Amino acid sequence: MNSRPQDILGIVFSDGTAPHFWSTLPMFPMLPGMKAIMEGLDYKETIGLKAETKLSPEEWDAYQKGEKENETGKRQVGKEFTFMPETFVEVEKKDLLNQTPPKLGNRPVCVIKGNHPTRDIQRLYEKGVARGNGTEEDRKEARDAIGVWIEKEKGFHESFLKLSSKGHWIEATQSGHWVHHTEPELIVEGVRWVFENLEE
């Protein structure tokens, strides 16, 4: 986006991570307290993804099988978490969200916001505590982090709208982070809006 904005006709952010996100909000997988609370939990099962996905049972099994067998993908995820803090420092330096005119001009930008802290992370916290995971100190660290996330998250998602003078906001009220699994119709809505608002 920074080096070739002219190649972007429009864009949909689905519960995306904006610049300054991780420098303000805690990275939950990296928090010692949250890691202790999540010990032994099946992530997708705990956040309800398996129960709430719109994939058929056969599609879900194929999706799971693909993830388990994709060794390259596993390595990539590991590297992403390792380098994510440094990456966001570099992205922040580009100041993409505060340019005049906007970085993407009047090209359509759609932002879809899920409810990652109040659904996914809260469920992980509650199930972990129910198992007896984590010390009181761990649990307080996690609760405080969830509170900060809930307070500030929406503003970060809204900041994506600064990329263009033409924006569209969608609230995924029945989803956590995995909107494409649980409310895929909203992804379709966002993509359709972008196509309908492309410049001739």
pLDDT digits (tens, 9 = 90+) for 140-193: 999 999 999 899 899 999 999 999 999 999 999 999 999 999 999 999 999 999
Q: Do residues 61 and 187 make contact, with C-beta atoms less than 8 angstroms apart?
A: no
**Domain locations in the chain as residue ranges:** 5-196
- pTM, to two decimals: 0.90
Per-residue pLDDT tens digits for 101-154:
999 999 999 999 999 999 999 999 999 999 999 999 999 999 999 999 899 899
SS3 70: coil
pLDDT surpassing 80 at residue 26: no
- E strands in the chain: 11-14, 109-113, 167-171
Helix (H, G, I), strand (E, B) or coil at 169: strand
Q: What DSSP assignment string belongs to 168-196?
A: EEEE-TT-SS-HHHH-HHHHHHHHHHHHH
Residue located via tokens 């982090």: 145
Q: How is the beta sheet containing 11-14 ordered, strand by strand?
A: 11-14, 109-113, 167-171
